[in-house]
Structures are given as structure tokens and as C-alpha cells.
Structure 1
Amino acid sequence: MSVDVITEDDRWTDMAALAQTATDAALERLGLEPSVFEISILACDDARIATLNADFRGKARATNVLSWPSDERAAGIDGEMPLLPEPQTELGDIAIAYGTCAREAAEAGKSMKDHTIHLLIHGTLHLLGFDHERDRDAALMEGLETEILGKLGISDPYRD
């Protein structure tokens, strides 16, 4: 997997390693060879992601992670697997905001590392066509996230 990280917020000190771990784990779980794909990641602050969120989603507030897939891959039927990509170079882009991630991790009593890996897996799954707008799609995506995180020794983020 080629992960191109642009760091705009210097508090993201280990983003390259975290991104490699998360994206490789997500792709491998789906039977995809990481070495034939590329993802670009913007490690930014809340102000930058709020601007992106306003520009692309019409929501003028910070969020934890945003993703822009290179192609539409979503499943047509709720709960079905999306059409996984053929080997190619670029899957898409992910932006992740330090302040929001740090606040969420602290509020949930999680380490910043574990929460960041979770959000990067989440973003990678979005690039692959997974979503959580419909109930069965959400169950599929959350189940995959939990499984991938478990293999990395990270607890289920959806557990009460």
C-alpha cells in the first residue's frame, strides 16, 4: 500500500505508521493486495476539516474524518458488499482532524493511537464503497471495522 500523507497539523507525529497499519489491515481483510493501491491522507486540524466539511457536505463544523473515493463503489442493495475495486493506483483521499480525534478519544477513554487507527479503517472502508446510511450497510461496515480492529488488538469501538 502506498499511503501519501500530507501533515498540516504537527501534532500528528506518527500518522504515516498509523495510516499504513490501518489501510493495509482493511484491504487485507477484504482480500485485496495492499501493494497495488494508493491512498492520500491529509492529517489536519479542526479548522481545515470544518472548511472541507462545509465545502463538500454543506456542514460548517469540524468532524473526525472525511473521505473522497476515486470511484463510486457502493452496493445498490442495503447490506450487500460493495463492488470492490480492480487493482489500480488510487482509491481516494481521506482527511482526519487532530482536535476532534483527540477529544473523542479522551471522552471515550481510548488511546489516541487506537481511535486514529479506527477512523482510518473507517475512512478506508468508505473509499471501498462501504457506508452507514442504511441499517444493514451500517451493520456490515461496523462489523468489518470491529473485526479488523480486533485483529490489531484494538477493542470494539461500538461496544457499550
Structure 2
Amino acid sequence: MDFSKFLADDFDVKDWVNGAFKVAQKDAPGKADAHAATLVMKLQLFIQEVNNSIEGDDVPELENTADYWLGSIARATMQTYCDVILQIPELNPHATKQLATDIDYLSNVMDALGLQTSRTLQNITALLRAKPEEFRQTAKALPRRLSSTIAAMRDLEH
């Protein structure tokens, strides 16, 4: 696998990930959310492919390149995931729990890679896990715009 494109000075990971979404949107209009749902699985496939490449070579530069690439892809994936989550119009209690569980799964994948879950994703999880009566208190310590968006999604007073 050629990692050189990911190290180019003009490489923008977010543009690369968003480009994948645009292709999916063009191929199947209205299915962007379904495409986002498979993002974690696709990330795992990338990870396996990178790991297989590294295991076959004892080249330190490849490991550093792979780490850089993987970290960049992971950060862009988390940002794109946050963007998609924040576009959800409403969540019932069951969907709220499921989304929090899905985010936990992604966090476990990131942890297994030695990467930290983004602060925004951690904040979203905290707001999703907050009981309705505790939401306002939880939201006080977090960015107001994010709290307001999640409150509206969950149909909670903020």
C-alpha cells in the first residue's frame, strides 16, 4: 500500500474522508447516514490492512507513516462522525442509548489503536448519557452550542 499521498504537505484528511461521503451520496442519494454507520467497520478494515503491511516489513519509516496516516484518518473519522451525529433531527430514548453505545464502540476501537477519542465525541457521549433531569447540570461544563443541539435532538429543556 502506498502511504506517500497521506504524507504530502497539501493532503487534507477531512477532505479525503468527506470525498468518500460525497461519492457514496452520489451513488446512493439519501443514504449518507447508512454510509456513516459503516464508517467504524471501514476504519477497522483499514487498520487491519495497515497492520498487515507493517507486520510484513521491518521498516521504521513505514511504521511512523502508518501511525501518522492512521491517526489522521481516525481524527477525520471522528470529526465526520460528530458532524453526522449533530445533523440528527431527533432521538427517542432508545435511539439515544444506541447512539451512545455506538460511540462507545468507536471509542474502544480508538483506544485499541492507542488513540484518544476526540473531545467533541466525549462531550456528545456525556450529553447523551445524561438523564433528562441531570442534563442541564451536565451541559453547564460543555460548549453551549453542542449542548443546545443535543438538547433539541433529545427534546429536552436546556
TM-score normalised by the chain length of structure 1: 0.29
What TM-score do you get using the length of structure 2 for normalisation? 0.29
User: Which structure has the greater CA radius of gyration?
Assistant: 2
- Which protein has the bigger strand share? 1
